[in-house]
Amino acid sequence: MTLGLIGTKLGMTREFLKTGQSVPVTVIKVEKGRVLDVITKEKRGYSAVKLGFFKIKNSKLTKQMKGYFAKKNTEPKKILKEFRIEKADEFKEGNEIGLEILKDKKYVDVRSKTVGKGFAGVMKRWNFSGLRATHGVSVSHRSHGSTGQRQDPGKVFKGKKMAGHMGDKFRTMLNLEIVKSDLDNSLIYLKGSIPGSKNSTVLLRESVKDVKRKTLTEKIEAKAKLAASVKGKKKKWN
């Protein structure tokens, strides 16, 4: 496991590369996390760091949480998140962790909640084709049809694709490329879109998989080197 950060999705825009190529990006405002607790193997059998994100009024806290933050002698935080790491001894309570931990990274994993779409039918939710539009089908053109079998097994199996609540679920997108990072304003620009609406909360962490593909910048640099080498060869022949 690696250390992560929590931020707010500001929306989408585009970035222009050196070649003039336009790249769609999602802008995330990363919140600085304060170390509230350092968990060691001697304490609980594993090593981790508990971080707090986003300010919250003291009046909105429960008595238990008021006591917790008073004991830690720190300002209240809205979201508490525990990250399991190998070396927790490197961190101290009260330290702040920001976007600098992703400074040299090329790819990140993003976890956020999808946009809720309410109660949806099977055609919208699961891309069913629906029933026939002719030959005796009435008032049930968009229905799902049969859901069960006969007397045996005599039930509808769990996980059957049916109408229901669509969206509003946590989803993770892997290996999103970091196009640009603005450390001064705590902004990170990720290539493409991510789940969730504007101002939704987003969890960022270093990519779990070992991504070997080149980034857009690396591809452009490779093309430029290739073009320069071809020009050099032409001059020699001339």
Higher pLDDT, 18 or 171: 171
What is the chain's mean pLDDT, rounded?
89
Percent of the chain with pLDDT over 70: 97
Domain for residue 132, yes or no? yes
pLDDT in tens, 56-96: 999 999 999 999 999 988 899 999 999 998 887 788 888 88
The answer as to whether 15 is a domain residue is: no
Residue 30 CA to residue 180 CA, distance in Å, equals: 13
Higher pLDDT, 63 or 150: 63
Instruction: Mean pLDDT check: name the lowest of 132-136, 168-172, 182-186.
Output: 132-136
**CA distance linking residue 196 with residue 11, whole number of Å:** 10
| pLDDT per position as a tens digit, 176-217 | 999 999 999 999 999 999 999 999 999 999 988 888 888 888
Q: What is the pLDDT of residues 183-192, one digit of tens each?
A: 999 999 999 9
Which of the 8 DSSP states describes residue 215?
A: P
Instruction: With 0.75 as the threshold, say if the pTM is over it.
Output: yes
Q: How many domains does the chain have?
A: 1
Residue 154 maps to a domain:
yes
Does 125 map to a domain? yes
Domain membership flag for residue 41? no
The predicted structure's pLDDT at residue 235: 60
Nearest CA-CA partner of 100 in 212, 188, 192, 36? 188
Domain enclosing residue 132, as ranges? 117-166
Dist. CA 213–CA 176, nearest whole Å = 12
Q: What is the pLDDT of residue 233?
A: 67
Cα–Cα distance between 70 and 36 in angstroms, integer? 11
Q: Is residue 122 pLDDT above 70, yes or no? A: yes
Domain membership of residue 157 (yes or no) is: yes
What's the one-letter identity of residue 57? Answer: K
> Which whole-number Å values give the CA distances from 121 to 185, 196, 232, in the listed order?
43, 21, 62
3-state helix, strand, coil split of the chain in percent (to 5) is: 20, 35, 45
Q: Would you call 206 exposed, middle or buried from its count of C-beta atoms within 10 A (0-12, 13-18, 19+)? A: middle
Q: What pLDDT sits at residue 175?
A: 92
Task: Confirm whether 139 is domain-assigned.
Answer: yes
Domain contains 134: yes
pLDDT at residue 238 in the model: 53
> What percentage of the chain reaches a pLDDT higher than 90?
53
Check: CB of residue 34 under 8 Å from CB of residue 40: no
